[in-house]
Amino acid sequence: MKKQLTFATMLLFIIAGITTGCKKESGESRTLKKKIEGKWLVSKIESKVEGGETKVYTGLAADFIEFRNDENDQLDVNINGKRNLGSYAVLATDGLEISIPGEQLSCNVTTVNDSTLEFSATVELSKPQETRKYYLHR
């Protein structure tokens, strides 16, 4: 009887340890990298070249930006039928550095939650200066 009680108690502790130890990070406790990981659909992109008007691109059903969680921090971008592979780096602040062929973007994340990601980006070394605002959703 004592062995059965000991076994039942140990089994209870094991089950309790598994259920409490395997919680998924959620909410504000997650890092920025964890929050942005995955595939995001493009709602719209606002682009402005210094001295010009703001142009708005409305995302198509096939448009996406995917922040991959791999050792190279790859970025898969498909916008308006043009697909590029690049990389990204999350900075200590709410910033991102994005590198895709022909462009280096310095970004500041303004909104991030489970369904919305918005960030402003400056295209480095562009003359005249170009800025963009990305509106993404899941």
Confidence check: pLDDT of 94 > 90: no
| Phi and psi torsions of 2, nearest 5° | -65, -35
* Res 106 pLDDT > 50: yes
3-state secondary structure of 1: coil
Instruction: List Cβ neighbours of 53 (8 Å cut-off, separation of 6 or more).
Output: none
Distance CA 87, CA 66 (A): 10
What's residue 29's pLDDT? Answer: 77
For residue range 108-137, list pLDDT tens digits in order.
999 999 999 999 999 999 999 999 999 999
pLDDT for the residue 93: 81
Q: 118 Cβ partners below 8 Å, 6+ apart?
A: 109, 110, 111, 112, 133, 134, 135, 136
Four-point Cα dihedral 82, 87, 106, 103, nearest 10? -40
pLDDT digits (tens, 9 = 90+) for 71-81: 899 999 999 99
pLDDT score recorded for residue 5: 58
58/56 Cα distance (integer angstroms): 6
Question: Where do the domains of the chain lie, and which CATH numbers do they carry?
Answer: 32-137 (2.40.128.10)
| Alpha helices per DSSP H over the chain | 2-21, 32-36
pLDDT, tens digit (0-9, with 9 covering 90-100), for 13-35: 566 555 555 544 456 678 999 99
Quick one: average pLDDT of 85-89?
A: 97
What does the pLDDT average to over 48-72? 96
